Structure 1
């Protein structure tokens, strides 16, 4: 009985070693195989600010195509860092599928405003960072001008995100001027009046008042008569003809 027990253990060990060997051999051969192709997928619904071809060049490190690259030579972290270094890209995820496809899932930055200053023009993205203009696509976002600095940048970004996330405001607010005292003046897409917003405080309340006023005034066409809409006072909207 003791010999049978020992022989059984030996057979189990041999079978285990065989499985490990086959797995290692298969894994090694798989790693030495070359990639079949490379694919770039944008997660954003909007038009691309950077072409897929440009991202693909970063993905295959300027080689002619992915078929010249062995699987075991692919440094996924390095490729992600390279793609994320592009000023149009917010983040990416790079991986190799079982069938040898090198794939990059890319999220572009989301511009929420465009700044014009003495140094030129650039976008502000949803995270509050600068984003260069793109030769591929021009975003339809509010134009920002005036006194933009480190002191008011965070509050201004908060307001711009609020506008971007609200369908009504996103459609109607086309310009924001930052005055030297920190107050804001805004322009509406369809009407000639200026919106005196005041400082970047009580943002939600001020915009709520404006939307309620707009919905009421637009029904009787009185919006065409006003030159200025004052939102400084959170309890009321003051209009000037």
Structure 2
């Protein structure tokens, strides 16, 4: 008869005990009630379009009062989907902590223009998606008036993004009017002249020309006399008094 290898038996017992205690602790952890709900916002956007209270209400509507349910009953993926379906939320991360907390980290959508027509008023984000107006916050972004052609929407959104991502243009351009022809006329903050941009093509070149013109023109007092500044020709800027 072979002698028992007590070292192997002891190793097996240790492994069995580890599995048991791990399973026991996991079960106890999952049965614990949530102790707190922590809601945070990315990039310091805490008090803009959506508030802590609004996020908390969304959580309550979809999982009940968080502090009265067990951790194992919380469907984190479902909560993330629910939050991301909200018109003002771009990304949501929901996770539970070992301290018994339910955590929701929210990235809000960022408006780049405010669209206004007789029938609708809303913001557009950098993807061209709608963001409803909010009673909590009003973004300082250019106002867009006119009909956006769906077939060319990506071109307009590209123009809006170029303005939003440029420090000078973001401060200077206050409005864009889209004419029935699809041509764009812009207004600026400091002077009364209209900027005839034309159709949203050759966007980078036209904006580069405008910035070069502006940098040069502000040195000349005649800039106050201009009625229009045309960017229709990509090789030059044409001004009219």
Give the TM-score normalised by the residue count of structure 2: 0.94
Native 8 Å contact 2:176 2:185 kept in 1: yes
Question: Unmatched 5+ residue regions in structure 1?
Answer: none
Shift of 1:57: 1.7
Q: Which moved more, 1:131-140 or 1:141-150?
A: 141-150
Q: Which shifted more, 77-86 or 190-199? A: 77-86
Deviations 1:70-106 (A, max 9, x none): 1111110111111112111111000011111111110
Contact preservation (8 Å) 1:44, 1:108: no
Secondary structure of 1:157 counterpart: helix
Cα distance, 1:62 vs. partner?
Answer: 7.0
Worse overlay, 60-69 or 156-165? 60-69
Once residues 221 and 97 of structure 2 are traced to their aligned partners in structure 1, the CA distance between those partners, rounded to angstroms, is 59
Which residue of structure 1 aligns with residue 42 of structure 2? 43
Residue equivalent to 1:29: 28
Which range is displaced more, 219-228 or 124-133? Answer: 219-228
Q: Counterparts of 2:222 and 2:98 in 1: how far apart (Å)?
A: 64
Q: Is contact 2:156–2:200 with CA below 8 Å preserved after alignment? A: yes
The answer on whether the counterparts of 2:33 and 2:100 sit within 8 Å (CA) in structure 1 is: yes
Residue in 1 that maps onto 2:115? 115
For the 8 Å contact 2:63–2:74, the answer to whether it is kept is: no
Q: Deviations over 1:220-240 (max 9, x none)?
A: 333211110000111111110
Q: Which residue of 2 aligns with 1:66?
A: 66
Give the C-alpha shift of residue 130 in structure 1.
1.1
Alignment of 1:105-184 (within 5 A): 105-184=105-184
* Equivalent-residue separation in structure 1 for 2:173 and 2:44 (angstroms): 22
* Aligned equivalent of 2:186: 186
- The alpha carbon displacement at 1:175 in A equals 0.7
Separation in 1, partners of 2:108, 2:62: 21
Q: Which residue does 1:8 correspond to in 2?
A: 7
Gaps of 5+ in 2: none
Q: Is the 8 A contact 1:37 1:65 kept in 2?
A: no
Between stretches 52-61 and 24-33, larger displacement belongs to: 52-61
**What is the root-mean-square deviation in Å for CA atoms of aligned residues?**
1.7
Name the SS of the counterpart of 1:196 in structure 2.
Answer: strand
CA distance in 2, matches of 1:209, 1:45: 34
In structure 1, the partner of 2:214 is 214
Task: Pick closer, same or farther for the CA change 1:232–1:82 going to 2, 3 Å.
Answer: same
